[in-house]
Structure 1
Amino acid sequence: MTFNTLEDAAKFYKNYAKAASFSTRVRSTNKKRNVIKNQLITCSREGKWKLKISPTEKTNPSAGLNCPARIYIHILKDDGVWIISKVMLHHSHSCCPNQAEMLKQHRKLSMSVRRTIENNEKAGIRPSKTYQSFVAAAGGYRDLNFIEKDVRNYITREVRNILELDDAKEFGKYLLRMKEKNQNFFFELELEDDQSIQLAFWSDARSRAACEYFGDVISFDTTYNTNR
């Protein structure tokens, strides 16, 4: 079996892992002149490790079990296609077919679920309430292929980031409108590469006149004591 790209080969093994009820991770990638030549993908329980959190504090502790399941993928130099050159199917642990979709690698939020999360976040609905609405609609926790943590992560990673970028744009437009109304209005606005606010300063005409007359400035450090 050959694959046109490394991504296609990795996706093939990921789909197999889901069907066989385990998850995978990239163990190593070898490059030559910054070009990938081969890759090792293993079962996520490969290696020997154990969480430092005690079982009394974590109800579902996990550990590496030296699982030997893995595949080796490398590119054929002459043909430019990728092949799986070595496969080990045996696992050192049992797999649970009924729980495959709940493994972190296989949990997915559909487009409709994402839209609902975004709308609820804008409406001020708490993530826990949003998740419970999905549970009720599905008829129970077992009928969902994601957990509440996935909802919270999506809000933190995607929704709030988008809202913050929109806030930065609207704030910039507001400062421009204030400048158009009064040319003595002064502002500086600097954005990061991702368009989030790096620096913002503004002073209206009255404040500038008062500063020129009295010569005093009062500043407030809103970050004081936040990192202690």
Structure 2
Amino acid sequence: MGFGVRKHYLNRAKDNVITSRGFVCNKEGQRRKDKRDHLTKEGRAETRTGCHARMGIKFIRKTRKYCVYDFVAEHNHELHKPECVHMMRSVRKLRDVQECEVNLADDAELTQKMSHDFFSVQDGGKENLGFLRVDQNNYLRTKRQRALVYEEWGSLLRYFENQVLKYPSFFYAVQLDKEELITNIFWADARIHIDYELFGDVLTFDTTFATNKE
């Protein structure tokens, strides 16, 4: 049996030492009302139940150790079955050695399904692996985004800017994530504009999909 855990609060002293830390059940509290609810056709299922299970720890400077000062063990909901515990977000994490193995499998151009199945067999089952395929995919995507160094992006940006100067109809846009890493790049030249005017839709094919790391 198990349950997800969420970080609740964190306090630090002036010397940057963590003085107290709180953890709660992932079903703690209630979801806040979204002002955009009237625009939502099918809302997400409610996952919070106002569970009061929690644990608080604090730092004792005299002993230089942490102790539990607040603890509530009772939950107001059913716990996860043992065979499903490995799917909980709070327990999913790639270890350092697993990151190396994922990198090696990616360098060997194995598909993510093949490599994930191999890792599962190696660890005696998916329940012992510690991460899901989506976590592996997210790790590789973040790694590739960080690999797009400034020089590469700078060269592409300069090319786009030159195209805009030469051809006023040229357009480009860049989408960043919350860490200001590049997630998507879109550009359209004069030919694409003409095609759209003629046909109303433009169908494109990515002929390099699943053939290289990009």
After TM superposition, the score normalised by the length of structure 1 is 0.53
* 8 Å contact kept, 1:51–1:63: no
Aligned counterpart for 1:224 among listed residues 154, 171, 186: 171
Q: 1:71 maps to which residue?
A: 55
Q: 1:25 maps to which residue?
A: 6
What runs of 5+ residues in structure 2 fail to find an aligned partner?
165-169, 175-185, 187-214
Q: Distance in 2 between matches of 1:145 and 1:220?
A: 47
* 8 Å contact kept, 2:86–2:127: no
Aligned counterpart for 2:77 among listed residues 55, 74, 93: 93
**Secondary structure, in 3 states, of the residue corresponding to 1:131?**
helix
**Secondary structure, in 3 states, of the residue corresponding to 1:98?**
helix
Quote the offset at 1:110 in angstroms.
4.9
CA 1:65/1:153 → structure 2, altered by over 3 Å: closer, same or farther? same
Q: 2:23 maps to which residue?
A: 41
The one-character-per-residue Cα deviations of 1:62-102 (angstroms, maximum 9, x if unpaired) are 51111111112122354443211121000111112222222
Amino acid at match of 1:38: S
* 8 Å contact kept, 1:51–1:62: no
- Higher-helix-fraction structure: 1
* 8 Å contact kept, 2:86–2:128: no
The one-character-per-residue Cα deviations of 1:117-173 (angstroms, maximum 9, x if unpaired) are 213322444334433444566787556542210110121123x256545xxxxxxxx
RMSD (CA atoms)? 4.1
Aligned counterpart for 1:118 among listed residues 103, 106, 109: 103
Q: Which has the higher mean CA deviation after the structures are superposed, 113-122 or 47-56? A: 47-56
Q: Distance in 2 between matches of 1:111 and 1:77?
A: 32
CA 1:51/1:30 → structure 2, altered by over 3 Å: closer, same or farther? same
**Secondary structure, in 3 states, of the residue corresponding to 1:41?**
strand
* 8 Å contact kept, 1:50–1:64: no
Q: Distance in 1 between matches of 2:109 and 2:118?
A: 14
Aligned counterpart for 1:102 among listed residues 81, 87, 94: 87
After TM superposition, the score normalised by the length of structure 2 is 0.56
Q: Distance in 1 between matches of 2:130 and 2:41?
A: 25
Specify the structure having the higher radius of gyration (Cα).
1
**Secondary structure, in 3 states, of the residue corresponding to 2:7?**
strand
Q: 1:199 maps to which residue?
A: 154
Q: Distance in 2 between matches of 1:26 and 1:56?
A: 29
Q: How many positions carry a matched residue from both structures?
A: 161
Amino acid at match of 1:37: T
Amino acid at match of 2:27: R
